[in-house]
Amino acid sequence: MLEAAFWGFVGGFALLVGAVIGLKARLPQRVVGGVMAFGAGVLISAVAFDLVEEGFEKAGTGPVLGGLAAGALTFFLGDAIIDRRGGDQRKRSGGQQAAGASAAIVLGAVLDGIPESAAIGVSLLGGGTVSVAVVVAVFLSNVPESLSAAVGLRTAGHSARAILALWSVVAVVSAVAAALGYALLGDASAASVAVVQAFAAGAILTMLADTMMPEAFQDDGRLTGLLTSAGFVTAFLVSHL
């Protein structure tokens, strides 16, 4: 369980890395959008090959379809609640967070990070070694995610200390989520593990479509598709090396 927590924190630590880059580097929004597009492609690859495909091989179609639907619906409902409370602009880099509630922004960031971290914890089950592809995918996608949000939060008037505190909290929650994903499924059946993998996949896909990819396209325009494909190919190669 401690190993799962460690790898979950590694993925969550990328949020702090991205936030520091966003606060210090003052990157153009187009660059931020391009990095987000690349990160989205990385996560799509991890979802396809390290969560859905692996779950299907373990337990077949039923558990995977059920998990995908449940994960997508759960994220959709949670995101809708957070949006109504002022967290709908949490990943925007243009300062739209000014009108949002800080608590909702924090909860939204936690909601976004839990499925990814749980996937890391679940990847340790069975084989005893963490899925490098999943950790790399989460790390590479978290950097642009927090980078964009940090830029927007700073533009909206939040202090650097408050922004770093936000992502520190999410990093700790990521470690806890990874540990729980491992601990709660240590003796679970293959079907149960497959359901959780697919649940995480459904939540991640919904998060990408609802938050990361719209922001990437808004900032980077026509290059978004190419950069997303580049991220997908990169993660695919990592998962098969």
Q: What is the mean pLDDT of the segment spanning 42-51?
A: 86
Q: How many H helices and E strands in the chain? A: 10, 0
Q: How many CB atoms lie within 10 A of CB 84?
A: 10
- pLDDT at 112 (0 to 100): 72
Residue 183 has pLDDT above 80, yes or no: no
pLDDT band at 221 (very low <50, low <70, confident <90, very high): confident
Higher pLDDT, 122 or 40: 40
- pLDDT at 88 (0 to 100): 65
Pick from 125, 158, 141, 156: nearest CA to 216: 141
pLDDT band at 197 (very low <50, low <70, confident <90, very high): confident
pLDDT band at 124 (very low <50, low <70, confident <90, very high): confident
The residue ranges of DSSP E strands in the chain, in sequence order, are none
- pLDDT at 239 (0 to 100): 74
Q: What is the mean pLDDT of the segment spanning 202-228?
A: 84
Does the reported pTM lie above 0.75? yes
- pLDDT at 91 (0 to 100): 58
* Interval 136-166: pLDDT, tens: 778 877 787 787 777 777 877 788 898 888 8
Residue 103 has pLDDT above 70, yes or no: no
What is the chain's percent helix, strand, coil content, to nearest 5?
85, 0, 15
- pLDDT at 135 (0 to 100): 81
Q: What is the mean pLDDT of the segment spanning 207-224?
A: 81
Higher pLDDT, 165 or 117: 165
| Residue pair 130/104 in contact by the 8 Å Cβ criterion | no
Pick from 235, 209, 189, 207: nearest CA to 71: 207
Rounded distance between C-alpha atoms, residue 96 and residue 106, angstroms: 15
Q: How many CB atoms lie within 10 A of CB 85?
A: 14
CA-based angle 83:165:11, to the nearest 5?
80
- pLDDT at 226 (0 to 100): 92
